[in-house]
A and B are shown apart, each in its own frame.
Chain A
């Protein structure tokens, strides 16, 4: 297709579709991962203490959790289908390895998650209390487990292990499944992703609680909201620490297995030891001209190698090395994208933690926060870790380019050969439209239910089988 002086082909649209649908899917997944556990913890606290405050919070955040959960589920199916639809040559190439974690994810994790979510939603008056509590924990475990398998699959694309290339078919074949599941990239990406997810969930809990603390002063439920605000802030602070810790380990593994990605994160063209980390750079990023840069000496060396004087390879040297190894071609990702997404990831993550600290400080020694500025900062809080997560994934995936499987297959060779531009455009447009519509609906619903506050508790019906005429405790 020609127009506006540039050309678009099916490959470009397939890439955009993958980017848009995946970033979109991952707006909902972190909340599902994190909030399932936080709701399970709240419900456990209710069981342990009998304090109705925790039951109210369980039901309140449970509702927000479910509004979000539905979106995660339906956008997830697209992800599984998309590999075959748009990336069928990739699927043929890695199917022997990549399909297994996907199938296991469905069998082991998704069934657990979906079945026990159903039991939890509809089981308030159907299950004994303990079993009902177990249901939310089972769902939370299923959700968190699913992250492991899909990250193991993704880690194979970053750092392929446990395979060989069959010389006859030219395809990747699994030789060691344990190696795939214990890929060092997977082992560190999993806790990093979970911590990033709890950052989102903790932020949502904090924001909603804080809004009610400030706006609904004097409400009978202020105690519950205060608790939620503090609880959420601590979740944010602990997960930020874990994000930093795991991110640091990731940086070192990345330097080892994907040095080009590390160089692209800094826009480091020439190999340096020690290498500094620039907080921001103004000027041309093609390395030809640098107008202004705020640099922290030794930091990149330390991030990448653990040694402040360590050597970090530059893009130009790696490009030359890859050209010798894989043949002529451009083996560097789009540097402005990797450079800025890396910084946005870190920046938005740190900002989230800073707000959580402010919120905790504002509630110190039983104080009630009143500041409008704090409320405003609190309201943007959930958006920040969502941005951090999105930029983290954009960095991870864009930093791997031009490879779809690092060192083994180029992205442009993975696309479906028989799918036409019209077909991909149709699909990309359709997904974008339906996703945008649903985003507006979902956001409004979340706001509505967040503002409505914790529910009034009706007398708890005892679980019984003799309920021929009694209304269900929960119904769609």
Chain B
């Protein structure tokens, strides 16, 4: 396999990992005002992701770094082109990350309420905008012959992209609700499960619509199979949630996210960012890539360190595998 193909795959894998992991973090954050009826319940919700959210976010930093290292042209065009959405995502991630750490540091209800807002909006904004961004990457954007983005903000906000935003919003909400059903005890667990089922049905409709639209833009057999797999995984996850098999339900929603992302990347390849203006402006895994020497070094680094990272991050989830209920929240 060519090095550029390997790195296309790796970038796809990193974003997939990011969406699976921070996907449920975003879901938990958005469900905070819905499932957390009082401060103690909200603390239960936040503590399900407390030990892991930061490590989950590093998937984004790694994905961004990998894109910069392996496909500098893609990184440069994407980040300068999607300027305002990325700015909003950054501001959201800043407010949200600080909120987790600071919320419990003072007892005043006003203080906590403000951070709750930061957690909610800090989760909801990226949940929508990542979908908008990836729908645009897939569909293509106005790039000139120098691979520079020449559109404006409104060029990014067309119906297909907005449907993409709605899809990630729904997927992350459902995924988060299922995660909470898996990680909590008592009343919250039941409410999370019931909510997951309701959200899941709506999400399934939106996701199928989005993936169908996606396949009408560009498709191959593999992408078609992956999209079907995503839909099946989501439905199977919901079925498992109905029968209270929350581990399987979580596997289902995680797979649905993975397969949906895989659908986009598979149908996109070998392009990484098509141009809607000038075919010469289209960025591909070849013309956006670094030199083979850089890719070779990066491949070695990835081969050595990725398994190590997966091992210790997986171990963290094992250490904090216990469900949390209101009895676990200290009174102070």
Contacts and interface: CB of A to CB of B under 8 A. Distances in A.
A118 to B, nearest CB: 4
A467 B330 CA distance: 13
A291 interface: no
A151 interface: no
B51 A119 contact: yes
B240 interface: no
Nearest to B10: A103
B247 interface: no
B142 to A, nearest CB: 10
Given A85-B80, A419-B80, A100 B75 contact: no
Interface stretch (A172-180, A223-231, A255-263): A172-180
Interface stretch (A121-129, A329-337, A380-388): A121-129
A418 interface: yes
B84 to A, nearest CB: 6
A92 interface: yes
A175 B91 contact: no
Given A81-B79, A472-B330, A95 B94 contact: no
B62 A417 contact: no
8 contacts: A84-B68, A84-B79, A95-B72, A98-B68, A103-B70, A107-B305, A471-B330, A475-B328
Given A73-B54, A77-B93, A111-B55, A438 B65 contact: no
A14 to B, nearest CB: 11
B70 to A, nearest CB: 7
Interface in A66-108: 66-67, 69-71, 73-78, 80-81, 83-86, 88-89, 91-92, 94-100, 102-108
Given A67-B105, A118-B54, A434-B94, A471 B329 contact: yes
Interface of A: 66-67, 69-71, 73-78, 80-81, 83-86, 88-89, 91-92, 94-100, 102-108, 110-112, 114-119, 121-123, 126-127, 173-175, 177, 416-419, 423, 426-427, 430-431, 434, 438, 441, 445, 448-449, 465, 467-472, 475-476
Given A99-B72, A103-B65, A115-B313, A476 B103 contact: yes
Nearest to A416: B80
B47 to A, nearest CB: 5
A371 B238 CA distance: 68
A230 B106 CA distance: 30
B62 A103 contact: yes
B298 A471 contact: no
A118 B97 CA distance: 13
Interface in B301-323: 301-302, 305-306, 309, 312-313, 316, 319-320, 322
A58 to B, nearest CB: 18
B73 interface: yes
A108 B305 contact: yes
Contacts of A103: 62, 65-66, 68-70, 298, 301
Contacts of B106: 445, 448
A117 to B, nearest CB: 7
Contacts, number: 242
Nearest to A91: B76
A175 B297 CA distance: 11
Nearest to B104: A476
B265 interface: no
Given A111-B62, A121-B51, A174 B291 contact: yes
A361 B94 CA distance: 42
Interface of B: 43, 46-47, 50-55, 57-58, 60-62, 64-70, 72-73, 75-81, 83-84, 86-87, 90-91, 93-95, 97-98, 100-106, 148-150, 290-291, 293-294, 297-298, 301-302, 305-306, 309, 312-313, 316, 319-320, 322, 324, 327-331
A194 B293 CA distance: 31
B80 A418 contact: yes
A155 to B, nearest CB: 17
Given A77-B61, A117-B54, A476-B100, A426 B84 contact: yes
A335 B180 CA distance: 58
Contacts of B68: 80, 83-84, 91, 95, 98-99, 102-103
B148 to A, nearest CB: 5
Nearest to B301: A104
Contacts of B94: 74-75, 77-78, 434, 438
Given A78-B94, A99-B67, A104-B301, 4 more contacts: A99-B69, A121-B51, A177-B293, A465-B322
Most buried by A among B100, B101, B298: B101
A104 B313 CA distance: 17
B105 A80 contact: no
A131 to B, nearest CB: 9
A95 B62 contact: no
A106 B65 contact: yes
